[in-house]
Amino acid sequence: MRAESRITGVLAIAGAMGLWLSPCFADDAVRGAADALKDAERLAWLRNWSAAQPYYAEAEKEFQASGDRRNALFAHISGIRAELQRLPLLETSERLADELEDPLVQSDARLRLRCLVVKGDVDLDMDTDLAKRDWTEARSLAESLGEVGWVNRAEGELAIVSFLSGNHEAAALSILAAIVKARKMGDIASVVRYETLVADGLVQWKQYDKALKYFDDALEIAKSEPDIQHPLLLYSGKIEALIGLGNIAEARSLLDSSLGAAQAKGAIGYQSELHLRYGLLEIKRGSQARAIQELRMATQLADSIDAPRIAAQSTFTLAQCLETSGDMGAASGAILISINRSRQAGDRVMLPATLAVAARINLALGRPAVADQYFDEASEIASGVIASVRNLTGKDEFISSLDQLYLDHFRFHAKQGNPGAAFEVAEQVHGRAVADALHITPKTNDDAAQMTVEEKRLAHLQLALMRSTNRADRLRLLNSLARAEEEAYPAFIRRARSDQSPATRPVALRDVQRGLGANDTFLEYLVANPQSYCILITRERAAIFDLPSKTEIEKAVDFHLKAIASKADLRGSGRGLFRAILPAGATGTTNLIVVPDGALHRLPFDTIVDDRGDMLLAKHTIWYVPSGSVFNILSKRTGPTPSAKPVLAVAAGTDDIPEQVGPIRRGLFDLAGLNLPPLPNANSEARLVGEIMGPKSVVLTGRAATESAVKSQPLDGYRVLHFAVHGVTSPSRPERAGLVFLPSADGSEDGLWQVREIEQAQLSAELVTLSACRGGDGKVMGTAGIESLVTPFLAAGAEAVVANLWDSDDSFTAELMREFYTYVRRGLPTAEALRRAKVDVIARYGANAAPQLWAGFILTGINRQVFHD
């Protein structure tokens, strides 16, 4: 039996661990169970769940035998966390959700807290929205119990959720605060975890030197406690940082010492993961043979302890190594194992990627029909995951992680000359986040960790989708998932969308054709190496055209943009683009509708020069859409109610400023070191827009242009929203983007209307104009599209958004907006009104109207009349 003094010491911290035990024991069995549970809790507090697992199992068995259901359940739930490496995530999350509904768990705060903690860890690897609910309730419960340690841990985990949801700035501040508090409380395991995560973030941003400082500090702290969980993430992150700095030998040495420590502790799971790291390191070193050996060892160890997630990752990487080595037969066998392990683990992220590699391997083996089946299965499972992600950034990041899947699948159909199938692949990802938002905008209950009946149904459907090997069943499940999504999140479906069916499949090519006019040509691009493509669609035909490589297109776009910036003659660069990216017959109609991709997101197509030396602007009306699916949805919208006001025009400028030197730019600024110049023409521009649009217009300028004033307006009750303001962003972190108003006098709003706030607004506007700021620019998220200020306005319900791809001149922009709104008020469709305005200012100012001043303004959405005079 263990030393009595140790039992007494551990009993003293029982409350801090969320534990309750009777003060006296009926027999030695119960005393042994209590002892085992204390040891388990000490190890669990150090986040060493695997070492705690045998003690939890012992305690559960003894408590059950003695009839102590409460403590048996506590040990059982904790044991789930200890076994998580082997358990399928979806099923485990649902199982814990059922435990939360147990009357005993509902009535016992400490038992419920433990269940929430374990469920929060499960959901963090699977569904950030569920994880947020888990940890929010856990924090509240810990506060009520006075458990300051768990309060801080909940804060730290919520910071991780915030980071994964795209709110990087707030997440960084929260996690640093959690580190400070953990240090004060002596919670060394949390210090190690959170410093490791901060360092890992720095590695992702390639700030390797800064990352190493955090890694080294965390390692020193970890060494102070022999029983702390083996910090695999810490070692892996430091190894990646060392590789980034070119210190391969030191990275290898660190792996060696880490593996030695894992072997000394008999930690098979960690050994498996470390062999996987060895394999990745050997791949970076170009040693495929050594990598294959290490990856096979990782798989063998993972299978020996039935750890399907590690086995799935190691066999996935092994298959890619074997593919690179040309051993397609062995690669095929390895990828089949990875598929089976991914299904077993219920890994929704790994499974589509694994299926995509299986498709590629089968293509190499000359099995196109089998490859097509794998492509379809991968796309359909990924579609189910995309549908379950609740925010724009999260969807785009997941899609971009699977870029190769969609590129390979598209290329497969392109080579077969099948435009309909290729179009469907592109539509699965192009503008997907906006398309999903236009179907339904869910509201979640952040306070309730328990899953609703509808959410449980979603979990069942997701699990069935992953495990299905029959396409008819998968299509049926995708339809059921779409319906279940609307039932689970019925809070509001935007006005005039009630006729829309659930977003089960991307729009079909024939449906886009039906929505085109006789003078419309629809161009959807996919930019890739070694070959790019364009699908040309009219009412009568559809065809796929081969284009130059991504590298060549990027060079051509950069050359053209430099010519615009330097006010050079555009005939050379513009004609080069005409021949490179516009298929034969593309300019045979007056209207061009463009779904850009890659570098083409930065290109104003109306500056392309045809073979006769004319810019397309002269004869063609051009506008852009995120995808054919978004085009199809918006084309069926009925617009705002007849009682809607004509315009809300907002300008955060001033008419009373000191004399300026040189032109004033309305630019897109980074929040760091923000120094926004005044906008002398913005207020007068907003007032002019109000006058043009009619007496019922609402104009907010100067000191009245606060964020709270804008938000307090019935935003869904305006036909047009016009913002003559600055914008802010961070080039690498698009979630920080926003429009700059004045802060509220009471301090309730900071004056920055950010992406995550805009996308939650309810809009019915037929037109939103972001006058002057580089709102059309942003981070390109692979095949998912671009994350700019345009995207959240479309997702919030706007039918069209006019924004600039670059900075603009304050004075010239005011003139352009005058012409634009005059044509809009006369009843011209919005894209045609923008084209006419550009033509007019060019005619008026001649050589002084350089493309740099007007070309950046583009319209994204649909080309529709706002007013009918």
Tokens 């068995």 belong to 61
Q: Are residues 379 and 454 in the same domain?
A: yes
CATH number, position 778: 3.40.50.1460
Strand, helix or coil for residue 512:
helix
Residue 369 CB coordination number (10 Å): 7
Q: Are residues 717 and 809 in the same domain?
A: yes
Beta strands across the sheet bearing 767-771: 542-547, 532-537, 520-526, 591-595, 621-624, 857-861, 800-804, 767-771, 718-724, 645-651, 698-701
Q: Which residue, 176, 139, 164, 168, is CA-closest to 154?
A: 139
Phi and psi angles of residue 532, each rounded to the nearest 5 degrees, phi first: -105, 170
Q: Are residues 430 and 513 in the same domain?
A: no
Compute the CA torsion angle 629, 630, 631, 634 (nearest 10 deg). Answer: 130
Residue 766 lies in a domain: yes
Q: Which residue, 840, 847, 732, is CA-closest to 779?
A: 732
Compute mean pLDDT per 10 residues along the chain, 869 residues long, and list them.
Answer: 30 37 46 88 92 93 94 95 82 89 94 96 83 93 95 94 71 88 94 90 83 91 84 82 89 89 84 91 89 96 90 95 94 96 84 94 95 93 80 81 92 94 94 84 52 62 66 70 59 40 71 95 97 97 97 97 95 96 95 97 97 95 97 86 89 55 39 54 91 93 89 93 82 70 72 83 93 79 88 93 87 91 96 97 92 95 87
Q: What residue spans of 468-530 are helical by DSSP H?
A: 471-488, 509-515
Residue 837 lies in a domain: yes
Q: Are residues 608 and 682 in the same domain?
A: no
β-bridge partners, 536: 523, 543
Residue 792 lies in a domain: yes
Helix, strand, coil % over all residues of the chain, rounded to 5: 60, 10, 30
- Structural domain harbouring 437: 356-503
- Alpha-carbon distance of 381 to 383, in angstroms, equals 5
Give a three-class secondary structure readout of 622-640.
Answer: EEECCCHHHHHHHHCCCCC
Domain boundary among 591, 626, 661: 626
Tell me the DSSP string of 422-455: HHHHHHTTTTHHHHHHHH-B----TT--SPPHHH
Residue 341 lies in a domain: no
CATH number, position 613: 3.30.420
Residue 228 CB coordination number (10 Å): 19
End-to-end CA gap in the chain: 92
Q: Which residue, 118, 132, 121, 5, is CA-closest to 56?
A: 118
- Alpha-carbon distance of 562 to 550, in angstroms, equals 18
Tokens 């529709």 belong to 864
Domain boundary among 464, 484, 503: 503
Q: Are residues 651 and 566 in the same domain?
A: no
- Alpha-carbon distance of 105 to 740, in angstroms, equals 47
β-bridge partners, 865: 829
- Is 299 within 8 Å of 318 (Cβ atoms)? yes
- Alpha-carbon distance of 815 to 85, in angstroms, equals 63
Q: Are residues 563 and 665 in the same domain?
A: no
Compute the CA torsion angle 168, 174, 178, 179 (nearest 10 deg). Answer: 50
Identify the DSSP state of 305: T
For the chain, the residue count is 869
Q: Are residues 685 and 804 in the same domain?
A: yes
Confidence (pTM):
0.79
Residue 636 lies in a domain: no
Residue 657 CB coordination number (10 Å): 12
Q: Are residues 800 and 699 in the same domain?
A: yes
- Alpha-carbon distance of 540 to 516, in angstroms, equals 10
Measure CA 19 to chain center.
Answer: 38
Strand, helix or coil for residue 362:
helix
The predicted structure's pLDDT at residue 794: 94
- Alpha-carbon distance of 764 to 864, in angstroms, equals 14
Q: Are residues 752 and 829 in the same domain?
A: yes
Cα Rg for the chain, rounded, in angstroms? Answer: 29
Q: Are residues 758 and 787 in the same domain?
A: yes
How many independent structural domains does the chain possess?
Answer: 5
Q: Are residues 494 and 516 in the same domain?
A: no
Residue 46 lies in a domain: yes
CA torsion sign for 759, 765, 767, 770 is negative
- Is 537 within 8 Å of 824 (Cβ atoms)? no
CATH number, position 221: 1.25.40
Cis geometry, peptide bond prior to residue 731 (ω within 30 degrees of 0): no
Identify the DSSP state of 327: -
The predicted structure's pLDDT at residue 692: 95
Q: Are residues 470 and 539 in the same domain?
A: no
Phi and psi angles of residue 547, each rounded to the nearest 5 degrees, phi first: -125, 170
β-bridge partners, 802: 769, 859
- Is 138 within 8 Å of 112 (Cβ atoms)? no
Residue 303 lies in a domain: no
Residue 283 lies in a domain: no
Domain boundary among 82, 106, 122: 82
Largest CA distance in the chain: 98
